[in-house]
């Protein structure tokens, strides 16, 4: 277990502005609450991808891998923020109490052989430059079974979220650097077969990296004859609207000096996160090496099958 890593690094990946933006968008806008349930939400995707590899970090990363390094702490924290009930107050204790409730109700969905995937990047191209695979990186053994890509499906066993799958993925040497939460709403059911052809799923995207922001994807009629519906995006980049926030670690140190624990997961949160992830690690431990995927791609083919088996697809990277 790596609780100290989880506590120290949350601000680097999420940042206080990100945490507060998610909470503000959810609870300061009344339009979302009536839709924030399993009657209106089809599924949620949480993604954190990096375009760089693990060069120079072999001493830490080998034997740790993507699930421990990112999913266990950072992405499960995002899940808790997006799924939690409104806290009594927007202070550290109240927020932590609601996150703990969600993490207590979160569980892996199986069978894990079909609802999870792990991969290890091979040789490929990063920013138009040829790069080696992990096995050829300095400090990594040629037979390393450390995953640089991990994807898993979880559910939240509450009345609000029962039946809604949360698809979580992270990886290195992928197409681009991004972190986001994408909430896909249930497509509307129209009366006529002709109208059903025009259905477009609405998606609300909380952008975390590289720029905080929000996007709403809706269907609009394309100009011309006929009822041809096309997806269009409405959104904003918070940096273009508000002044730039302090750097992540600058804010972290300031919070320590002010005794503000909002960004620091409680011990119970960390233990609950490990309770969720440990069975996945045990399952993967019974297999050999992860699937190989070329650097500069969206990950292994096994990750695509997680969603395709349910008739869904990952958002493009």
The tokens for 166 are 């949360």
The tokens for 183 are 């909430």
Tell me if residue 74 is catalytic.
yes
Q: How many CB atoms lie within 10 A of CB 126?
A: 16
Cα–Cα distance measured from residue 42 to residue 10, given in angstroms and rounded to the nearest whole number: 28
* Closest by CA position to 100, among listed 117, 111, 87: 87
Active-site option among 74, 190, 228, 283: 74
Instruction: Give the distance from CA 312 to its chain's centroid.
Output: 16
Alpha helices in 30-186 (DSSP H): 58-61, 65-66, 76-83, 92-105, 112-115
* Closest by CA position to 114, among listed 311, 309, 312: 309
The DSSP line for 190-252 is -SSHHHHTT----EEEEEEESS-EEEEEEEEEPSSSS--EEEEEEEEEHHHHSPPPPPHHHHH
* Closest by CA position to 90, among listed 19, 29, 31: 19
Cα–Cα distance measured from residue 83 to residue 22, given in angstroms and rounded to the nearest whole number: 11
For the chain, give the number of residues: 317
Cα–Cα distance measured from residue 81 to residue 246, given in angstroms and rounded to the nearest whole number: 21
Cα–Cα distance measured from residue 88 to residue 171, given in angstroms and rounded to the nearest whole number: 35
Cα–Cα distance measured from residue 30 to residue 306, given in angstroms and rounded to the nearest whole number: 33
Cα–Cα distance measured from residue 183 to residue 66, given in angstroms and rounded to the nearest whole number: 23
Q: Give the residue numbers annotated as catalytic, written as ranges.
A: 74
């Amino acid at each position: 277990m790596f609780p100290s890593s989880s506590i120290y690094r949350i601000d680097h990946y999420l940042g206080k502005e990100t945490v507060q933006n998610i909470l503000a968008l959810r609870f300061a806008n009344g339009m979302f609450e009536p839709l924030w349930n399993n009657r209106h939400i089809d599924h949620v995707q949480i993604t954190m991808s990096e375009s760089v590899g693990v060069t120079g970090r072999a001493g830490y990363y080998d034997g740790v891998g993507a699930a421990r390094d990112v999913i266990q702490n950072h992405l499960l924290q995002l899940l808790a923020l997006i799924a939690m009930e409104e806290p009594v107050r927007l202070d550290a204790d109240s927020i932590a109490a609601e996150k703990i409730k969600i993490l207590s109700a979160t569980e892996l969905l199986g069978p894990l052989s079909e609802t999870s995937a792990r991969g290890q990047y091979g040789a490929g191209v990063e920013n138009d430059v040829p790069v080696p695979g992990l096995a050829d990186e300095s400090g990594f053994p040629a037979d390393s079974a450390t995953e640089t890509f991990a994807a898993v499906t979880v559910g939240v066993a509450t009345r609000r979220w029962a039946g809604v799958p949360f698809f979580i993925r992270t990886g290195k040497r992928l197409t681009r650097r991004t972190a986001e939460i994408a909430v896909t709403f249930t497509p509307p059911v129209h009366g006529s077969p002709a109208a059903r052809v025009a259905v477009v799923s609405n998606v609300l995207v909380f952008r975390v990296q590289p720029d905080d922001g929000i996007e709403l994807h809706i269907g609009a009629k394309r100009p011309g004859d006929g009822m041809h519906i096309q997806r269009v995006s409405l959104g904003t980049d918070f940096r273009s609207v508000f002044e730039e926030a302090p750097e992540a670690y600058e804010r972290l140190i300031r919070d320590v000096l002010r005794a503000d624990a909002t960004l620091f997961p409680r011990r119970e949160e960390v233990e609950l996160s490990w309770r969720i992830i440990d069975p996945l690690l045990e399952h993967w431990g019974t297999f050999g090496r992860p699937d190989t995927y070329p650097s500069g791609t969206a990950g292994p083919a096994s990750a695509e099958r997680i969603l395709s088996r349910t008739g869904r697809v990952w958002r493009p990277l």
